[in-house]
Amino acid sequence: MPYPEEMVAPMRAELTDNGVEELRTAEAVKEFLERNKDKSAMIVLNSVCGCAAGAARPGILLSLGGDTKPDAVGTVFAGNDVDAVNYVRSLVPQAPPSSPSVYMFKKGEPAAYVPRHVFEGGHPEAVAEHLRGAYAKLS
Amino acid sequence: MGTFHSDKGALHGITVVVRTNTNAVYIGRCDTQTPTGIFLNDADRHEDGQDGKSIEDYIKNAAQWGHWPKIPHIVVPADEITEVVRLVEVEK
């Protein structure tokens, strides 16, 4: 059963109010990747857990404030956007289900993956630094 | 910075690698560490050579991709533990 939308809405908005594109369905994810197939793209697998609130979302937003970043950023929500999440996960099958997590694509192909344990107990600044290192490899 | 449960210790909620004096290593989300051992949730256990992977290869793979949680809850006895480190601190 999905989380109540009124519970997750503020967690979605933390990203979408800052320019991250909301992808609620598998079709939306496919269209997003197709639209950005000649660029770099990132999909944030958002979640209700504490490390998403304390480290992942603020760290991701901090990282996107720099010059080196993906051309396009989208987000899906674990436990709510079920088909969208399953589709994103299917693109990197070697990665166990993990949320929050971050998937990066270069010219439409998976290029980097950041699992949940990178965010656990982390500070936003450390998360941002980790992500910036990955962004540099996308260009 | 741990999670919201400050009475559970600094590693509460953190995915850790538990090395042991046996031929097995454990990776899981730490609940608590006590004199009895370390309590892990959503854990996995890997024996050296299992599935053709050494313990070091297994840990590196988990650091890159995460681990598959095959054991809901487990206690690793204190007298078997040789090292506990955060998975994020492992070199990929």
pLDDT tens profile B48-87 = 999 999 999 999 999 999 999 999 999 999 999 999 999 9
Contacts of A135 (CB under 8 A, 6+ apart): A40, A63, A66, A68, A69, A70, A104
Among the residues of chain A, which ranges form H helices? 5-16, 26-35, 50-51, 57-63, 82-90, 124-136
How close does chain A come to B13, measured CA to CA in Å?
Answer: 7
Residue A28 CA to chain centroid, in angstroms?
Answer: 14
With 0-12 / 13-18 / 19 or more C-beta atoms within 10 angstroms meaning exposed / middle / buried, residue A63 is buried
Comparing CA positions, the residue from A1, A102, A105 lying closest to residue A52 is: A102
Query: What ipTM was predicted for this assembly?
Result: 0.87
Average pLDDT over residues A58-70: 96
Confidence of residue B2 (pLDDT cuts 50, 70, 90): very low
Structure-token pair, residue B27: 């990776």
Catalytic positions of A, written as ranges? 49, 51
Q: Determine the Cα–Cα distance for residues B27 and A47; give it in Å rounded to an integer.
A: 22
Structural contact between residues A41 and A104, judged by C-beta atoms closer than 8 angstroms: yes
What mean pLDDT do residues A124-130 have? 95
Query: A121 vs B13: CB contact, 8 Å cut-off?
Result: yes
Nearest to B3 among A50, A101, A118 (CB): A50
B22-34 residue pLDDT tens? 999 999 999 999 9
pLDDT score of B28:
98
Q: What is the mean pLDDT of chain B?
A: 92
Q: Is A112 in a helix, a strand, or coil? A: strand
DSSP assignment string, A38-68: TSEEEEEEE-SSHHIIIIIHHHHHHHTTSSS
Contact B43, B70 (CB under 8 A): yes
Query: Which residues from chain A sit within 8 angstroms of residue B88, using beta carbons?
Result: 117-118, 120, 122
Q: Can you give the pLDDT at residue B64?
A: 95
Output the pTM of the full model: 0.92
The share of chain B scoring above pLDDT 70, in percent, equals 90
Helical (H) or strand (E) element with A109: strand A109-114
Position A93 pLDDT exceeds 90:
yes
For the residues A112-132, what does the mean pLDDT come to?
95
Count of pairs with CB atoms under 8 A, one residue in A, one in B = 46
* pLDDT beyond 80 at B92: no
Dihedrals phi, psi of A78, to nearest 5 degrees: -65, 135
Q: For strand A101-106 and strand A72-77, is the pairing parallel, antiparallel, or unpaired?
A: unpaired
Structure-token pair, residue A110: 């998976």
pLDDT at site A1: 79
**pLDDT score of A3:** 87
Q: How far is B81 from chain A (nearest CA, A)?
A: 21
Closest chain A residue to the Cα of B68, Cα to Cα? A96
Q: Inform me whether the pLDDT recorded for A89 exceeds 60.
A: yes
Give the pLDDT band of residue B1 (cuts 50, 70, 90): very low
Q: Does A126 touch chain B (CB under 8 A)?
A: no
Cis, peptide link before residue A2, omega less than 30° from 0: no
Q: Does A79 touch chain B (CB under 8 A)?
A: no
Distance CA B45, CA B26 (A): 4
Strands A21-22 and A72-77 turn out to be parallel
